[in-house]
Structure 1
Amino acid sequence: MTAKIEVTPVSGKADLAAFIDLAYRLNGSDPNWVPPLRADMVELLTPGKNPFHEHARVQYFLARRDGRVVGRISAHIDELALAQPPEQGMGPGTGNWGLMEAEDEAVMHALIATAEEWLRGQGMTRVLAPLSMSIWEEPGLLTMGHDHPPMIMMGHHPAHYQGWIESAGGYTVAKLLHTYDLHNVADGFPELVNRIVAMGEKNPRIRIRTVNKADFANEAQIIIRILNEAWSNNWGFVPFTEREKAYAGKKLKQIIIEGANMIAELDGEPVAFMMALPDINTKLITMQGKLFPFNWARLLWWLRNPKSRNFRVPLMGVVTRLQNSRMASQLAFMMIEYIRRYAVAECGARRAEVGWILEDNQGMVAIAHAIEAKMNRTYTIWEKPL
């Protein structure tokens, strides 16, 4: 007879530690799973440390069988997401679950049912999942691309989780998010892209500049202002608060490389940006989530001079008035070419990923195809009426 599964809310430091530890135990044997730093996980989950909690209702749950922890899940409601138009994916009545880990299908189903029940109790009528936890953090479940490690700030999940979610009942695909791989950036881009870049370089109205890390607090404000405007009509969009802007700027400054991050100006006005980050995961994968006693020194040394062979382009934005224009495409090609030149020459870059990109974001998909990037990973977000 199978032992009963008990799902209870996380209560106290011991439960929170068990919630965090479970992911390391269940995924530790997967050579493509990158253990996050435990300190980062504590920060993510703790009110007062992560400003997401300032506009969210959050509850964590643990599943136990015979007293042993066998699963976890978060249930959460982003108040800012509730205020968004329903046609953009969020909207009134929409709650989420995420951060799920389970030893088997029965445990996963029990966790999902508990999260759904909690969301109903909070007045939600629809679930959009998984989100871990904000849409800006790790949206979706990896459903294609399990054969290679994720890059910086991306999730990696066991392949069987997809079937377990789909068999939970009532879930349909809401959106697919893709990443695109550039396998040898040293080779450069196709001639058409080079011509577009060269034409832009002759235009006196255009200036492509690197971010100024010495003034990164202000640079981050420019980037997030453009991001909030550029993405405001995108599926899943939730605006950044002022506290989140400052928090993101502080976190990104630790890993940002000036020459690999660009702001485009048109007639002296910042109108677009593109961010590229060195793949810190190549270091984290060997650290088992721990900075001490020696890993902090190794990581700090690498961050001071990150000769990364891998880069990820997680974000790009163009102000609304230029979207769907030739100028927008030209600025995008110029920024990504300038980033490519720097990353190859100064960091020894050989590979890059672009994404996430929404499956129906025709502009970004067209750019990915133009630079001959190949889809290499898919993340799936499901929805269900409650």
Structure 2
Amino acid sequence: MIHIEKVHNKHELNNFIAFTSSLYSDDPNWIDPLYIERSEHLSEKNPGVDHIEWQAWVAKKEGKIVGRITAQIDSLHHDRYGADTGHFGMIDAIDDQDVFSALFFAAESWLKSKGIRKVTGPFGLNINQESGLLIEGFDTPPSAMMAHGKPYYATRVELQGYKKGTDLLAYWMRLKDLHFPVSLQKLMEKVRQKVTIRPLNRKRFAHEMQIMRQIFNSGWQNNWGFVPFTEREFARMGDQMKFFVPDDMIYIAEIDSSPCAFIVGLPNINEAIADLKGRLLPLGWAKLLWRLKVSGVHTARVPLMGVCQEYQFSRSGPVIALLLIEALRDAFFRQNIEALEMSWILESNTVMCTILERIGAEPYKRYRLYEKHLTE
């Protein structure tokens, strides 16, 4: 018998978070997220709760948790797309169709009770957080702030009536393989004459973060499922980046002194926490700081990149992106970074996908976003 229980309090939320540790205990590529970070993400400390209403459930068999799921409604999504769409997320469960069915029944019932008729996901908690169900690339660990999964998840979700909405790609690149073909170099030199690439000014950190937020919201506004970052969300992200991201891993591009694009490089925190089992106490903090600040990590991720809408469909737009990658490459070399992930990128963004493949990157993970129309 499967029992579905709502998550009501902090103790139950801790169990919801901890479930994945046991579920993936036999997966050599699993990395436990930091419990403190997950707890704060699913709390009032997350500025996303300003516009996201959510509920979590666990599935139990014989008193033991065997699955989990969330359902959420994002008012910013409603503002752009109408009030009939909700989302699911954080789906993890044993390989049992009855467990998946019970979890999705709970999530969809909650959404229908609030007037939702279409469901998309998985998101945790919206598209600007961990997004997509891993469907290719199970043989390598997830990079920082990217999801992992079980190979059977896609089949179990699709049996619930969910269809592909779109796919997200993660690209992997070894720095020694990064190269700019002569044809691209000529374009870069031409555009370089009118573009200034500068590092983030840490003395004006809060202001710089809002500049990047405006660029991101401009550049991504026509993408599948786009929801804008709020000022509070980007400010919170900035507080986290102050601690983890070196000064020379954030660059802003300007044309005539006006910001038009940016890129963020993030040391792969997952590499640094792989053996901490999600815990920073008693010695985890010391290990994390040592690895990030002294011994260093050898992989990185580019989690954020944006080009203002007005330049995206010009000849300059893709080249500006190349100039930002070039600047970040030099910073990575200084930090002894050997390889990086660029993620995520919509599969429909053929221009960026083509550019990345031309300079030496290859797609190595694929994440799927699903959608389903609910019946009465």
Q: Is the 8 A contact 2:272 2:292 kept in 1?
A: no
Q: Secondary structure at the match of 1:217?
A: helix
* In 2: Cα distance, 1:71 partner to 1:350 partner: 37
* In 2: Cα distance, 1:234 partner to 1:304 partner: 36
Whether 1:183 and 2:183 are equivalent positions in the alignment is no
- Spell out, residue by residue over 1:337-358, the C-alpha distance to the aligned partner (whole angstroms, 9 max, x if none): 11112211x1122212212110
Q: Which residue of 30, 37, 44 maps to 2:27?
A: 30
Q: Which residue of 292, 295, 313 maps to 1:324?
A: 313
Q: Which residue of 5, 13, 16 maps to 1:8?
A: 5
Whether 1:167 and 2:159 are equivalent positions in the alignment is yes
Question: What is the count of residue pairs matched by the alignment?
Answer: 373
| Residue in structure 2 matched with residue 127 of structure 1 by the alignment | 119
Q: Is the 8 A contact 1:185 1:352 kept in 2?
A: no
Q: Is the 8 A contact 1:7 1:111 kept in 2?
A: yes
Higher deviation after alignment, 111-120 or 242-251 = 242-251
Q: Is the 8 A contact 1:141 1:380 kept in 2?
A: yes
Q: Is the 8 A contact 1:324 1:363 kept in 2?
A: no
Q: Which residue of 48, 53, 76 maps to 2:72?
A: 76
* In 2: Cα distance, 1:189 partner to 1:305 partner: 31
Q: Which residue identity does 1:351 align to in structure 2?
A: A
| Residue in structure 1 matched with residue 271 of structure 2 by the alignment | 282
Runs of 5+ in structure 2 lacking a partner? none
Q: TM-score when scaled to structure 2?
A: 0.95
For 1:14-93, what aligned pairs fall within 5 Å after superposition? Answer: 14-46=11-43, 48-85=44-81, 91-93=82-84
For 1:97-112, what aligned pairs fall within 5 Å after superposition? Answer: 97-105=88-96, 106-112=98-104
Runs of 5+ in structure 1 lacking a partner? 86-90
| Residue in structure 1 matched with residue 106 of structure 2 by the alignment | 114
Q: Which residue identity does 1:127 align to in structure 2?
A: V
Using a 3 Å threshold, how does the CA distance of structure 1 residues 326 and 335 change in structure 2: closer, same or farther?
A: same
Q: Is the 8 A contact 2:128 2:229 kept in 1?
A: no
Aligned-pair Cα RMSD in Å: 1.6
Q: CA deviation at 1:183?
A: 2.8
Q: Which residue of 282, 302, 305 maps to 1:313?
A: 302
Q: Which residue identity does 1:188 align to in structure 2?
A: H
Q: Secondary structure at the match of 1:237?
A: coil
Higher deviation after alignment, 67-76 or 289-298 = 67-76
* In 2: Cα distance, 1:206 partner to 1:184 partner: 24
* In 2: Cα distance, 1:306 partner to 1:276 partner: 18
Q: CA deviation at 1:186?
A: 5.8
Q: Which residue identity does 2:85 align to in structure 1?
A: T
| Residue in structure 1 matched with residue 324 of structure 2 by the alignment | 335
| Residue in structure 2 matched with residue 88 of structure 1 by the alignment | none
* In 2: Cα distance, 1:207 partner to 1:108 partner: 51
Q: CA deviation at 1:257?
A: 2.0
Q: Is the 8 A contact 2:178 2:361 kept in 1?
A: no
Higher deviation after alignment, 192-201 or 94-103 = 192-201
Q: Which residue identity does 1:147 align to in structure 2?
A: D
Q: CA deviation at 1:213?
A: 2.9
Q: Which residue identity does 1:23 align to in structure 2?
A: T
* In 1: Cα distance, 2:311 partner to 2:294 partner: 35
* In 1: Cα distance, 2:178 partner to 2:68 partner: 44
| Residue in structure 1 matched with residue 238 of structure 2 by the alignment | 249
- Spell out, residue by residue over 1:266-310, the C-alpha distance to the aligned partner (whole angstroms, 9 max, x if none): 011111111111111111111100001111012123333573321
For 1:215-364, what aligned pairs fall within 5 Å after superposition? Answer: 215-305=204-294, 307-344=296-333, 346-364=334-352
- Percent identity (aligned): 38
Q: Is the 8 A contact 2:178 2:360 kept in 1?
A: no
Q: Secondary structure at the match of 2:342?
A: strand
* In 2: Cα distance, 1:350 partner to 1:196 partner: 26
Q: Secondary structure at the match of 2:76?
A: helix
* In 1: Cα distance, 2:212 partner to 2:72 partner: 27
Q: Secondary structure at the match of 1:244?
A: helix
